[in-house]
Amino acid sequence: MDKQKKLPNHIAIIMDGNGRWAKQRNKNRIYGHNQAKKSVKECVEYCVEHKIKFLSLFTFSTENWNRPKLEVKALMKLLNNVIKDEINHLIEQNIKIKVIGDISKIPVKTEINLKKAIDKTKNNSGLTLILAINYSGKWDILNATKKILLDKNQINLKIFNDNIFENYLTTTNIPEPELIIRTSGEHRLSNFYLWQAAYSELFFTDILWPDFNKKELNNAIFEFQNRERRFGSL
């Protein structure tokens, strides 16, 4: 990171590679997911330390329901436990929790604890930690379109534009991510922030998520700072 250059206001991370990381160590995939907590903590701490305002984590996609039932159950239990264990620390760090996605489909206990965390941190003014849970970019766009159709009497098509459309997305009032990071060597968005990523800088690394740390995040930000962002102009 170059301290003389602008930091991204919003960083989004596709946390990938837990299963492969575990396999390399002759462990099951659930072990990899559990070890990934450390990477989440490091990224959150980094953003707090450097006063980055928004951090989005692609926590559980709509496609992840297709994984083995035992793994899905373990992921939901892990999410539930992390929220319960870390809520006081999040409050102390002035972190606000926001969840995007259809959480009505997740286990009731996890949904309740997430809503409690959202309520307990709603007045915090530091980092906004956005958890994308049962989320996909296609779902977000389709969901926004449904809301618009239900609200059609309030829509003036003559002035309808992308700014108005964005008010119907789950990310309304959240700035678009300037930097999207994906770990594990895969080079795709995998249905994450499809609308919001229009002008995001993309950073791909071969590092598997459980090995991602402050140093790796710092490297991604340094590359971001040294790119020229033209937004379609010369």
Give the number of other Cβ atoms within 10 Å of residue 115's Cβ. Answer: 13
Confidence of residue 4 (pLDDT cuts 50, 70, 90): low
User: What is the residue type of 167?
Assistant: N
pLDDT over 70 percentage in the chain = 97
What is the average pLDDT across 9-34?
A: 96
The CATH architecture annotation of domain 12-136+179-225 reads 3-Layer(aba) Sandwich (3.40)
Find the range with the poorest average confidence among 94-108, 142-156, 171-185, 209-223: 142-156
DSSP per residue, 104-148: GGS-HHHHHHHHHHHHHHTT--S-EEEEEEEE-HHHHHHHHHHHH
pLDDT digits (tens, 9 = 90+) for 114-143: 999 999 999 999 999 999 999 999 999 999
d(C-alpha 107, C-alpha 197), whole Å: 29
Give 3-8 contacts, CB < 8 A, sequence gap 24+.
5/225, 5/226, 6/225, 7/50, 7/51, 7/52, 7/221, 7/225, 8/52, 8/177, 8/178, 8/179, 8/201, 8/221, 8/224
d(C-alpha 3, C-alpha 222), whole Å: 9
d(C-alpha 185, C-alpha 205), whole Å: 5
pLDDT digits (tens, 9 = 90+) for 96-115: 999 999 999 999 999 999 99
Task: Just list the catalytic residues.
Answer: 16, 64
What is the average pLDDT across 174-202?
A: 97
Confidence of residue 152 (pLDDT cuts 50, 70, 90): confident
Confidence of residue 157 (pLDDT cuts 50, 70, 90): confident
H or E stretch covering 204: strand 201-204
- Averaged pLDDT score across all residues of the chain: 94
Give the number of other Cβ atoms within 10 Å of residue 139's Cβ. Answer: 18
H or E stretch covering 74: helix 69-92
Flag whether pLDDT at 48 surpasses 80. Answer: yes
- Tally the residues of the chain: 234
d(C-alpha 210, C-alpha 41), whole Å: 11
Confidence of residue 5 (pLDDT cuts 50, 70, 90): confident
pLDDT on residue 93 = 96
pLDDT on residue 234 = 55
Domain boundaries, the chain: 12-136+179-225
Flag whether pLDDT at 214 surpasses 80. Answer: yes
pLDDT on residue 154 = 77
Confidence of residue 233 (pLDDT cuts 50, 70, 90): low
d(C-alpha 209, C-alpha 182), whole Å: 9
